[in-house]
Amino acid sequence: MSETVAPVRTAAKQLRELDRAVVRFAGDSGDGMQLTGEQFTTESAWAGNDIATLPNFPAEIRAPAGTLFGVSSFQLQFGSQRVYTPGDRLDCLVAMNPAALKVHLSDLKPGGLLVVNTNAFDKRNLDKAGYPSNPLDDPALAERYRLHKVDMTALTLEAIKDLSLNQKEKERTKNFFALGVVSWIYTRPLEPTLEWIKKKFAKNQVIAEANARVLKAGHAFGETAEIFAEHYAVEAAELPPGLYRAMTGNRALAWGLLAAAQRSKLPVVYGAYPITPASGILEELAMHKRFRIRTIQAEDEIAAVTAAIGASFGGAIGVTASSGPGIALKGEGIGLAVTAELPLVIFDIQRGGPSTGLPTKTEQADLMQALYGRNSESPVVVLAPATPGDCFYIAYEAVRIATKYMTPVLVLSDGFLANGSEPWPVPDINSLPPIDVQFRTEKEGFFPYLRDPATLARPWVRPGTPGLEHRIGGIEKQDVTGNISYDPDNHDHMVRMRAEKVRRVAQEIPPTSINGPATGDLLVVGWGGTYGAITAAVERTQLEGQSVASVHLRYLNPLPPDLGHILREYRKVLVPEINSGQLVRVLRAEYLVDAVGFNRVRGLPLATDEIYEAIKQLLGSAS
Amino acid sequence: MSVSGAGPAEARRYTKKDFESDQDVRWCPGCGDYAILSAVQKTMPDLGIPKENIVFISGIGCSSRFPYYMNTYGFHTIHGRAPAVATGLRLARPDLKIFVVTGDGDGLSIGGNHMLHVLRRNVSLTILLFNNRIYGLTKGQYSPTSELGKVTKSTPLGSADRPVNPLAFALGCGATFVGRTVDRDVKHMEEMLKRAAHHNGTAFLEILQNCNVYNDLAWNALYEKESKLQYELRLEQGKPLLFGALDDRKAVIMDGVIPKVVSAASVPASALWVHDEKNVNAAKLLADLWAPEFPIPVGVLAAVEAPVYEEILLDQEKRAVSERGAGDIAKLLTSGDTWKIE
Ligand code: SF4
């Protein structure tokens, strides 16, 4: 279960044994694997581990039972050291039916733990999964893996036979049996899950009792049954001291908005149309009306963005969100905010495309859409969070920049960040920079497109301010006066002005932090949700004594002012992305550096191993 | 754009002039929009609302230039989206008086979806839909209200689409105020503008407007003196549906569930159809009447009370705050499952 990297002495770093495990729960959509994984995550957080998670579920809401495409899974990596990714290969796989085994077995390390629910391996399910015979009967399976065949269904039913529930309700609790077993294997505390069950089923005592009993039964089974002769402990990770909570990317984006609403003392109007994987933000925000968050479930993506723009015109913080297809629909609206020079925050939770693509899978292929996906010259600020918890800061920063510069700010999150979670140190809210919005009320010398000399922002006027009545719109306007203008030179001037305003946001960007030597053989440049995989891969090569560094960009437009200089300090530049080479193009165009892409577009996070290999390969070609 | 030197708003008595902006009006000479603009500017002082609290939101099209000519707050947005922009503004600023200016193409074609949803939600907005049955700004293509077989530049052999009836559409969407007026009847227009502006919820006012360049006299049935006399049916609350020349009064009555035109003298007073704005079902029947088989109703077809979108949402917010206090992010961050690392 533990991934051990031999210690290599380097001047900068001392390597210690890495204690970590990668576990995946897999079953039918109806088997409750997401819940099981989330609870196991909570237990691991309690145990003080660092964690990264990867939920993976079918696009179909109720995929037919037993089928390969109906398999739902939840993977997490937890460890006593920093954990950057949900892990590549599995130390432990729990397969609740034949389809889950078939889909996931190839990811299990040789010698890994394989726990299966034998009860589901009947003729029907085997047929559906395309197994001509029962794979559990094949001795090769037990030779290759540490196979544990458990009739979870029967053991579950036995544990709660006296409870007045019907057969179906009883069987449905078997995921807690699996959770109990795995909790025992990895010495996880059951308390958080027992607490959760109590709260969740407070209104249905029998169900609460059943789930709690089955969980304990699974745990006891692991302890007493002879088949588990071993179990593991993963020590608490050495995270910096402080108060922690588990945080997913979508929740962090929502909470970042709450923080921004509170600090700016402005209401947020959030327009959204339901779309995977962004809907969770709308649902989260709708629970927090006390923060003056006003959510509109709009009739379509266009109404969602334009309602947000209307709110910004009114002096509130207008925010909208979607995934790639929805962002495409919002394009004209975003352009309106560009020319009206109103604050607007747009979250794009990227997923596989084009078109409907892979709604529940992750991708990083909307960078070009974010930068250029509108008619004409319509520059917007583009930010990207690096981890689920970072989404909090990025959402807050987006509001700060949007209101300070009177500009749309587009945030590129992705399906992996949105649903993934990590232990997150709770920030001190007072440590966040202020969001100081000053509405113009002074009549003297007012013009709608007067500009702040430092930011080039135009004044924000709340309708209702006497004496400042004015009109704005999508037609080109004269600078300063805002009057409609078709003058060629004015248009050229305004195109440059809007671009320059966005460029000025560079003055907000902190110095780029470099993970590794300041000059060297190779620099890995990443953005977004690949942060963990890149960092882990780069640190591995560093421990091998290679001269490799990485930077992770949170500001994609404008780019950090020091980036050009940094890029030139390395002989090679590698840009891993879950797209066919978008940031790498931007860097090549912007800085004339011979950056090389590493690109996989599988709907899955990049694996540490493959980035590591790519680094080695590029280093090899360099020498 | 100019800035008016208004004093404390409440203390001011406005005149029409206060609502005229310094921008040159750029509609074609003779366009019906001029009369509408003048009527709106003239009506504004009577609303008793401080000028700075009035906002005009528009989409794209000839009609949508409207906000530039009003010396109030204004936002000329993008094609068809004004109702959505206005919905967001309303939720941010329930203290403002918001008008939406749109046209038949803007409001019923590219923006049809938003129109549907703003009406069903009953957001407090006054929507003025200028219906000229043509695309003017793009130089004369047929619109969603153009009659079947309309010959235009984009339909040289006649259009194949049946037109949408704006009033029937609005009522079908659950609109709580539906009215119709005509650009050449200034007095009626002003009266209707006031009625619409005072409605609580979404008011939908169709203004039959003449595009003298691309679709001149499309509403001639209500312009030409003889025909107006013959076909105009003025709707008045509590009054029977009577129309036509005084010496030859006609009545619309209900024959079962079917409206029918009869000579007024031929039926007893008890058989007359008495107009009731609260009766939405009757309004739906009225919306479909058109010349020459029937008269053309103008006035308020329906005006009913219904829950208002932003009032419900803001009430939820108020209750959440009063029950549990204003949100506190520091508290939220430390609530629920947290753990300490020493
Ligand atoms: S094209 Fe028609 S509607 Fe447009 S301004 Fe000219 S006359 Fe008026």
Q: Which domain holds residue B81?
A: 13-218
Per-residue pLDDT tens digits for A548-557:
999 999 999 9
Chain B neighbours among A 133-192 (CB < 8 Å)? 192
Phi, psi of A410 (to 5 degrees): -105, 130
Tell me: pLDDT of A155 over 90: yes
Residues, chain B: 342
Q: How far apart are CA B259 and CA B273, in angstroms?
A: 9
Q: Which helix (H) or strand (E) holds A33?
A: helix A33-46
Residue A266 in tokens: 């402005």
In a 10 Å sphere around its CB, with 0-12 CB exposed, 13-18 middle and 19+ buried, how is residue B112 labelled?
A: middle
Least trusted range by pLDDT, from A4-13, A147-156, A202-211: A4-13
Q: How far apart are CA A101 and CA A123, in angstroms?
A: 15
Tell me: pLDDT of B259 over 50: yes
Beta carbons within 8 Å of A242's beta carbon, 6+ residues apart:
A425, A426, B340, B341
User: What is the reported pLDDT for A480?
Assistant: 97
Query: Ligand 1 centroid vs B23 CA: distance in angstroms?
Result: 17
CB atoms inside a 10 Å sphere around CB A229: 7
Nearest CA to ligand 1 atom 8: B31
**Separation in Å, CA of A263 to nearest CA in chain B:** 9
- Work out the percent of chain A whose per-residue pLDDT is above 70: 95
Q: How far apart are CA A178 and CA A119, in angstroms?
A: 13
Tell me: pLDDT of B335 over 80: yes
Per-residue pLDDT tens digits for A573-593:
999 999 999 999 999 999 999
Chain A neighbours among B 198-257 (CB < 8 Å)? none
User: What is the reported pLDDT for A20?
Assistant: 83
- CATH superfamily, domain at A20-224: Pyruvate-ferredoxin oxidoreductase, PFOR, domain III (3.40.920.10)
Q: Per the domain annotation, does B117 fall within a domain? A: yes
Tell me: pLDDT of A429 over 60: yes
Does B28 sit in the ligand 1 pocket, CB within 6 Å? yes
Q: Which residue has the higher pLDDT, A91 or B92?
A: B92
User: HSE-up of B270 (CA within 13 Å, CB side)?
Assistant: 0
Per-residue pLDDT tens digits for A306-360:
999 999 999 999 999 999 999 999 999 999 999 999 999 999 999 999 999 998 8
Which one of B4, B88, B320 has the shortest CB-CB distance to A290? B320
Per-residue pLDDT tens digits for A404-422:
999 999 999 999 999 888 8
Cβ–Cβ gap A466/B52 under 8 Å: yes
Of A419, A427, A421, A371, residue with least CA distance to A397? A427
Per DSSP, B178 falls in state E
Q: How far apart are CA B237 and CA B243, in angstroms?
A: 15
Q: How far apart are CA A341 and CA A354, in angstroms?
A: 30
Q: How much is the average pLDDT of A124-152?
A: 91
Cβ–Cβ gap A243/B340 under 8 Å: yes
Q: How much is the average pLDDT of A185-205?
A: 90
User: What is the reported pLDDT for A450?
Assistant: 98
CATH number of residue B146's parent domain: 3.40.50.970
Does B214 sit in the ligand 1 pocket, CB within 6 Å? yes
Beta bridge pairs of residue A114:
A93, A147
- DSSP H helices, chain B, are 33-47, 82-92, 104-105, 112-121, 166-172, 186-198, 220-223, 225-231, 280-287, 309-324, 329-333
The answer to whether A475 and B58 have CB atoms below 8 angstroms apart is: no
**Residue with the two structure tokens 């590549």:** A88
Tell me: pLDDT of B113 over 60: yes
The answer to whether B340 and A242 have CB atoms below 8 angstroms apart is: yes
The answer to whether B177 and B196 have CB atoms below 8 angstroms apart is: yes
Residue B341 — very low, low, confident or very high, per pLDDT cuts 50/70/90? confident
Residue A274 in tokens: 């339901």
Q: Which helix (H) or strand (E) holds B67?
A: none
Residue in chain B lying closest to A431 (CA):
B330
Beta bridge pairs of residue A414:
A350
Q: Which helix (H) or strand (E) holds B248?
A: none
User: What is the reported pLDDT for A18?
Assistant: 43
Q: How far apart are CA A528 and CA B312, in angstroms?
A: 39
Does B212 sit in the ligand 1 pocket, CB within 6 Å? yes
User: What is the reported pLDDT for A63?
Assistant: 76
Q: How far is CA A413 from CA A558, A580, B176, in A?
A: 17, 18, 41
Residues, chain A: 623
The answer to whether A403 and A343 have CB atoms below 8 angstroms apart is: yes
Beta carbons within 8 Å of A317's beta carbon, 6+ residues apart:
A257, A260, A261, A264, A266, A267, A268, A269, A311, A343, A345, A399, A402, A403
User: What is the reported pLDDT for A7?
Assistant: 29
| pTM for the model | 0.86
Tell me: pLDDT of A108 over 70: yes
The answer to whether A296 and B87 have CB atoms below 8 angstroms apart is: yes
Residue B6 — very low, low, confident or very high, per pLDDT cuts 50/70/90? very low
In a 10 Å sphere around its CB, with 0-12 CB exposed, 13-18 middle and 19+ buried, how is residue B141 labelled?
A: middle
Does B27 sit in the ligand 1 pocket, CB within 6 Å? yes
Phi, psi of A6 (to 5 degrees): -60, 135
Between A and B, how many CB-CB pairs are < 8 A? 228
DSSP string, B286-323: HHT--TTTS-EEEEEEEE-----HHHHHHHHHHHHHHH
Least trusted range by pLDDT, from A5-14, B93-102, B113-122, B139-148: A5-14
What's the CATH code, domain A520-622? 3.40.50.920
Q: How much is the average pLDDT of B315-328?
A: 97
Q: Which residues in chain B are contacts of A336 at CB distance < 8 A?
A: 77-78
Amino acid (1-letter code) at residue B192: M
**Number of helical (H) and strand (E) elements in chain B, helices listed first:** 11, 14
The answer to whether B164 and B145 have CB atoms below 8 angstroms apart is: yes
Residue A235 — very low, low, confident or very high, per pLDDT cuts 50/70/90? low
Tell me: pLDDT of A200 over 70: yes
Q: Looking at the 3D structure of chain B, how many domains does it have?
A: 1
Q: How far apart are CA A554 and CA A535, in angstroms?
A: 15
N- to C-terminal Cα distance for chain A? 35
Q: How far is CA B134 from CA A554, A612, B68, in A?
A: 49, 63, 22
User: What is the reported pLDDT for A33?
Assistant: 94
Q: How far apart are CA A63 and CA A127, in angstroms?
A: 16
Domain ranges within chain A, ordered by starting residue: 20-224, 245-431, 520-622
The answer to whether A187 and A232 have CB atoms below 8 angstroms apart is: yes
Q: Is the dihedral of CA A288, A294, A297, A301 positive or negative?
A: negative
CB atoms inside a 10 Å sphere around CB B222: 20
CB atoms inside a 10 Å sphere around CB A268: 27
Q: Per the domain annotation, does B53 fall within a domain? A: yes
E strand segments, A240-287: 242-248, 268-272
The answer to whether A478 and A449 have CB atoms below 8 angstroms apart is: yes
User: What is the reported pLDDT for A8?
Assistant: 31
Cβ–Cβ gap B1/A483 under 8 Å: yes
Q: How far apart are CA A374 and CA A346, in angstroms?
A: 14
ipTM: 0.96
Per-residue pLDDT tens digits for A222-232:
877 655 545 55
User: What is the reported pLDDT for A453?
Assistant: 97
Q: How much is the average pLDDT of B181-188?
A: 98
What's the CATH code, domain A245-431? 3.40.50.970
Amino acid (1-letter code) at residue A73: S
CB atoms inside a 10 Å sphere around CB B249: 13
Mutate to test the interface with A, among B2, B10, B41, B91 (most CBs of A within 10 A): B91
Q: How far is CA A481 from CA A438, A449, A589, in A?
A: 20, 6, 36
Q: How much is the average pLDDT of A437-460?
A: 97
Amino acid (1-letter code) at residue A185: I
Q: How far apart are CA A237 and CA A82, in angstroms?
A: 7
Query: A20-224 with A520-622: one CATH topology?
Result: no
Q: How far apart are CA B312 and CA A293, in angstroms?
A: 14
A318 touching B (Cβ < 8 Å): yes
Residue A621 — very low, low, confident or very high, per pLDDT cuts 50/70/90? confident
Nearest CA to ligand 1 atom 1: B136
3-class DSSP state for residue A549?
strand
Q: Per the domain annotation, does B134 fall within a domain? A: yes
User: What is the reported pLDDT for A236?
Assistant: 66
Q: How far apart are CA A31 and CA A7, in angstroms?
A: 41
The mean predicted confidence, pLDDT, of chain A is 92
Does B31 sit in the ligand 1 pocket, CB within 6 Å? yes
Report the interhelical angle of A191-200 vs A174-185 (nearest 10°).
160
User: What is the reported pLDDT for A9?
Assistant: 30
Q: How far apart are CA A594 and CA A587, in angstroms?
A: 9
